[in-house]
């Protein structure tokens, strides 16, 4: 077969485009879900944004719920998988592990478009309970489990105070959710800005001073360590 033939070149481009279509549809869906919300996102608009027909979309996804689940699995679950791997290979104090997890979360989700999914779920979960249940089971529970394991490890080592790890996990996660919500609400209206680095510096300092076992001669401030972690995560 003559690969220089124009017909073969067109066929090759078409085949590559066909293989990329699911990713193109998922990228378009993520954009629209974040911009418009779940209810207002139409499959016609997703198809149009991806440059395909609605019929083509149905070759890959049966309905909007199926498409949304695929967006979560494609874009959010890999962030959790990476954090789980980081825990396995981490060596050092539990304080540094928790800091690394929080900085990793901010760099790979919080400051990206993915953080808009959090606002979507909080705003619309009551109207779409099946979607909310999926998000809870696939993402929230798995993400909370990562934080809880890090806390339990620190408590077992005697590096962190012994508290209810499940309750502490909720306390750890809450300010990070607030930071994402602010980014996609008041921050877009040019109301008071919340600088994420300063916010996380203050939060982590308060968190660790409340959780760490007293250590003689240990400096309580974590500002420099947090900035160093941010720089490290940004480079990965």
| Residue 172 near residue 207, CB atoms below 8 Å | yes
Give me the pLDDT at residue 189, please: 75
Q: What does the pLDDT look like over 216-226, one tens digit per residue?
A: 555 444 455 55
How far from each other are the two terminal CA atoms of the chain, in whole angstroms? 44
Give the domains, in start order, of the chain with CATH numbers.
1-61 (1.10.10.60), 65-234 (1.10.357.10)
Q: What does the pLDDT look like over 147-183, one tens digit per residue?
A: 999 999 999 999 999 999 999 999 999 999 988 988 8
Give me the pLDDT at residue 210, please: 78
Higher pLDDT, 4 or 187: 187
Task: Please report, for residues 16, 100, 152, 199, the alpha-carbon distance to residue 3 in angstroms, rounded to integers and kept in the order given.
Answer: 15, 50, 60, 57
Give me the pLDDT at residue 183, please: 85
Output the pTM of the full model: 0.78
């Amino acid at each position: 077969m003559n690969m220089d033939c124009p017909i073969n070149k067109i066929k090759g481009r078409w085949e590559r485009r066909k293989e990329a279509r699911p990713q193109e549809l998922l990228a378009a869906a993520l954009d629209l879900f974040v911009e418009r919300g779940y209810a207002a996102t139409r499959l016609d608009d997703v198809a149009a944004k991806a440059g395909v027909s609605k019929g083509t979309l149905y070759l890959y996804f049966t309905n909007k719920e199926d498409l949304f689940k695929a967006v979560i699995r494609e874009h959010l679950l890999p962030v959790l998988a990476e954090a789980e791997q980081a825990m396995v290979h981490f060596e050092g104090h539990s304080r540094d592990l928790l800091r690394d997890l929080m900085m990793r979360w901010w760099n790979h989700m919080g400051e990206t478009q993915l953080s808009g999914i959090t606002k979507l779920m909080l705003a619309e979960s009551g109207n779409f309970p099946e979607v909310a249940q999926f998000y809870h089971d696939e993402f929230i529970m798995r993400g909370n489990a990562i934080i809880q394991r890090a806390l339990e490890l620190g408590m077992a080592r005697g590096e962190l105070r012994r508290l209810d790890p499940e309750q502490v996990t909720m306390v750890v996660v809450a300010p990070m959710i607030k930071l994402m919500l602010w980014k996609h609400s008041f921050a877009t209206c040019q109301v008071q800005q919340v600088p994420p680095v300063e916010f996380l510096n203050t939060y982590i300092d308060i968190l660790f001073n409340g959780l760490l076992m007293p250590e003689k001669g240990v400096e309580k401030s974590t500002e420099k360590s947090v900035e160093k972690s941010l720089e490290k995560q940004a480079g990965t």
